[in-house]
Structure 1
Amino acid sequence: MTKLKSIVIAVGMATGITASAQEKVKNPYGLVYRDAIEENIKGKVNIHSVTYKLNGINIAANVYTPAGYDPAKKYPAVVIAHPNGGIKEQTAGLYAQRLAEAGYITIAADAAYQGASGGEPRHTDKPASRIEDIRGMADFITRYSGVDANRLGVLGICGGGGYTLKAAQSDKRFKAVATLSMFNSGEVRRNGFQNSQLKTIQERLKQASDARAEEVASGKIIYAGVANITDEEIAKIPTDLYREGYVYYYRTYAHPNSTFLYTMSSLLDLMTWDAATEMDLINQPLLMMAGSKADTKYMTDEAFPKAINAKSKELFVIDGATHIQTYWKPEYVNKAVAKLIGFFGENLK
C-alpha cells in the first residue's frame, strides 16, 4: 500500500501557532478546561482513561464517575460528543465532569481519525463516522459497571450537536437528547457560514473530487481548514465564531491533539449531508441550547421547529452568550449545566 503523505491547504491563514499555547497542557490527564480534575480522590468525582474498538479503530475516551461511585449501584449515564476540531480534553470534558458532579456517569471520546483515537487518514471528518462515534460511546458506556442502560442521555456540542441529532433519530437507546451551540456541519460546508459561499458550491465539490483523486493516485492527503494563525490575523476575523474559536483552540484552551484541519475529500460527504433533515424521527425529549449572541444560533433555529414528534422539546437561549463562550465562560456554562441537570433529571428517572 502506498504510504500516505499529507499536504496542507490552510484556508486564508498561513503562519505558526505559538509554542506557548501548546505548552500550557500541564494537567496529568491532559485536560485543559477550568477546574479540571488533577487527581482521582476516593469519594469524589473520578476520571478514567479508557480505550475500546469501534469498527476496528482504537477509540480513546474518558469516563467520569460521580462522587461515591459504587459499581454495584445503578446510575444514569450521558454520552457527550465534542465540537468540530475539538477533543475530549476541552469543553466536552468540562461538561462531562460537571454532569458527573451531578450524579451521572459520563463519557467523552475523541472521534475516530481525530485526537488520540486511531484511524487513517488523520482528521477525516465524515458525518457517518461521527455519528458512529456517538453510537460507539453508547455501546461502551451502557456496558460500564454501574450504568443503567435504560437511563442513557446524549449531549452534543457544536458539530457534535448536529451529529447527535442524527444519531438520536435512529438510535433509541438515547432516552433524552440535548445540544449546545449546535453546528450543522453539512450546511456550513455546503453553503458557507451564514450562507456566504452559495456561488462556489460546485467549485468546492470539484476541489473535493480532485482531492479524492489525488489520494488514490499518489497517496497525498490534502487538508482544508486552518492549520496556523497569528494574533493579528485572529483580530481581523469579523465573525465571533471563528475569531473566538481560534483564540479558544489555538491559545487559551489549546491542546496538541486539537486542530481545525479536515481532509478535503471529506467534503464529498459533508456537502451532501444536513443535520436538520429527518428531525421528525426524533421522538425522545429534546433540549436545544444556544447563546442569544451566537452567530450560529440560526442553525438551532432551523432545526428545532422540525422536531415535530419529540416527546417534549425546549429551546433554551443563554442570554448574552456567543457560541464559543458556552464552551468555557463560567456564567454561561453554569446556566447550561443547570438546564441539563434539570432536563436529564426529569427524563432519565
Structure 2
Amino acid sequence: MTEQKVVFVNHKLSLRMTGILRLPYNFDLSKNYPAIVVAGPMLSIKEQAQSTYAKQLTKAGYVTLVYDGAYFGESEGAPRQLESPSVKETDIESAVDYLASLPYVDKDRIGGVGICGGGSYMSVAGVREPRFKAIAAVVPAISDISKSPMMGFFRPAEEVEAEKKAYEEGKGEVTYLNFMPRAFDEGAAYYYTSRGNRRGYSNKAVSWSQLELVAYNVPAIMKDMRKPYLVVTGENAWSRPASEEVFAAVPDGDKKIVVIPEAGHFDLYDLAPFMDDAADELVSFFADKL
C-alpha cells in the first residue's frame, strides 16, 4: 500500500489538521474507491490504534484516512490536548470533507470506524454526518459519562470552571487531568510500551475538557441512528457495558454486535488474534454495506 502524510482543514475551526492517507495495493488513479475514516481513542494520535486498523482496511481495498484531531499531535489548536466531543465531531466531518474532495474516492461509499472514545464519537457522527453510509465502532467506551468510572478522573466542576475562566482572561495557565495513569495496568501495557507509545502522545487532557464530556450522553443521540451499524467489543473488555448500552440505544434494524471471545479492551487495539478477528468483522461489514 501507499502511505502519505496529508494536511486538510477543520473548516469550522479554521485549523489545519495532519493525517495519513493510505491507498490500496495496485492503486489505479482512473478508478473510484470506497473510503473509510478511522478515528482513534481519546487523546490518541494518528500513529496508534487507528493506523493498525486503517492498514488492515487498506489491504482489503479501501482508501483510508487517519488524523491527529485538532489540539493534538501535529494538528493545530490551542490549548493543547483539549478533549472536546463537539470538536471531535468537527474533526470527523472535516476528514469526510477531505476524502470527498479526492477524485478517486466514491462519494457514495464512505464509511467510518472509531475505536474506544473514537468509537463513540464516530457513532454520533453516523447520526449527524449524512455522507457516511455505514459505521463501525470497536470497543466504544463513552456512553453516559456522568454514570461511568471515568468520573474518577474528574475534579470538582467549580475548580475547572475557574481555571478555564482564568486561562481565557489571560490570568492562568492550562491545567490538566491524567486520563491514563500508569497504575491502570491494562492501559499502561499499551500506551507506555512499544505497542502504543509514539512520539507526540500524551496522557493529559485539558482539565476543562470534563465540562463537556460529563454532559455527553451518547445513547440519547443514538436513538436517531438509521444507518448500518456494527459494534465490536471484547468478552472481557472493561468498556463492554458502555458498548452494549450504546448499541442497545440504536433502533432495531440494520445493526449487529460482535463479542470477540476472551478479548479485553486494549487487546482489540493491536494484539493477535483479537484485533485480527475484529478487523475481519469490519472488512466483512463494509464489503456488504459499502
* Residue 151 of structure 2 corresponds to residue 208 of structure 1: no
Deviates more, 1:205-214 or 1:71-80: 205-214
SS of equivalent residue, structure 1 residue 344: helix
- Structure 1 position 140, deviation (Å): 0.3
Q: CA deviation at 1:102?
A: 0.2
Equivalent residue, structure 2, for 1:330: 272
Shift of 1:215: 1.0
Q: Deviations over 1:13-50 (max 9, x none)?
A: xxxxxxxxxxxxxxxxxxxxxxxxxxxxxxxx110100
Which residue of structure 2 aligns with residue 140 of structure 1?
98
Partner of 2:22: 64
Q: Give 2:229's aligned amino acid.
A: L
Equivalent residue, structure 2, for 1:85: 43
For 2:167, give the aligned amino acid.
E
Among 235, 240, 245, the residue aligned to 1:302:
245
| Cα distance in 2 between the residues matched to 1:128 and 1:168 | 14
Which of 117, 127, 130 aligns to 2:88? It is 130
- Out of 252, 257, 271, which is 1:315 matched to? 257
1:216-260 CA-to-partner distances (Å, cap 9, x unmatched) read 341411111158x6xxxx4xx4xxxx3221221122221121111
Residues 246 and 214 of structure 1: CA distance in aligned 2, closer, same or farther (over 3 Å): farther
The one-letter code matched in structure 2 to 1:182 is P
Shift of 1:208: 2.1
Q: In structure 2, list runs of 5 or more residues that go unmatched.
A: none
> CA-to-partner distance for each residue in 1:191-228, whole Å, 9 max, x for gaps?
4417x75xx98x6222221221221341411111158x
CA distance in 2, matches of 1:98, 1:341: 8
CA radius of gyration, larger in: 1
Distance 1:87 1:316, change over 3 A: same
Given that residues 219 and 245 in structure 2 are in contact (C-alpha distance below 8 angstroms), is that contact kept between their aligned partners in structure 1?
A: yes
Counterpart for residue 49 of structure 1: 5
Matched residue type, 2:177: A
Equivalent position of 1:8 in the other structure = none
Q: Which residue of 1 aligns with 2:58?
A: 100
Match of 2:173 among 201, 220, 236: 220
Question: Residues 289 and 226 of structure 1: is their aligned pair in 2 closer, same or farther, counting only changes over 3 Å?
Answer: closer
- Bigger drift between 208-217 and 84-93 goes to 208-217
Q: 2:192 & 2:43 partners in 1: Cα distance? A: 11
1:265 matched to which residue of 2? Answer: 208
Q: Percent identity?
A: 27
The whole-number CA distance in structure 2 between the counterparts of 1:216 and 1:305 is 40
Flag the 1:144–1:65 CA change in 2: closer, same or farther, 3 A.
same
Q: Call closer, same or farther: CA 1:85–1:246 in 2, change over 3 Å.
A: farther
Q: CA RMSD in A?
A: 1.8
2:199 equivalent to 1:256: yes
> Cα distance, 1:141 vs. partner?
0.8
Q: Is the 8 A contact 2:163 2:172 kept in 1?
A: no
**Greater relative contact order (Cα < 8 A, sep 6+):** 1
1:120: which partner in 2?
78
Residue from 73, 77, 85 that aligns with 2:31 = 73
Alignment-mate amino acid for residue 299 of structure 1: A
Cα displacement string for residues 280-302 of structure 1 (whole angstroms, at most 9, x for unaligned residues): 21100000010100011000111
The aligned amino acid for 2:14 is G
The match for 1:5 is: none
Amino acid at match of 1:223: Y
Offset at residue 85 of structure 1 (A): 2.0
- In the TM superposition, residue 331 of structure 1 has moved relative to its aligned partner by 0.3
Instruction: Deviation per CA, 1:49-98: give whole Å up to 9, x if none.
Output: 00011131110000110001112101111100110121110110111111
- Letter aligned with residue 240 of structure 2: K
Q: Give the deviation of 1:116 after TM superposition.
A: 1.0
| TM-score, normalising length: structure 2 | 0.93
Structure 1 runs (4+) deviating above 3 angstroms are none
Instruction: Kindly tell me the number of residue pairs found equivalent between the two proteins.
Output: 286
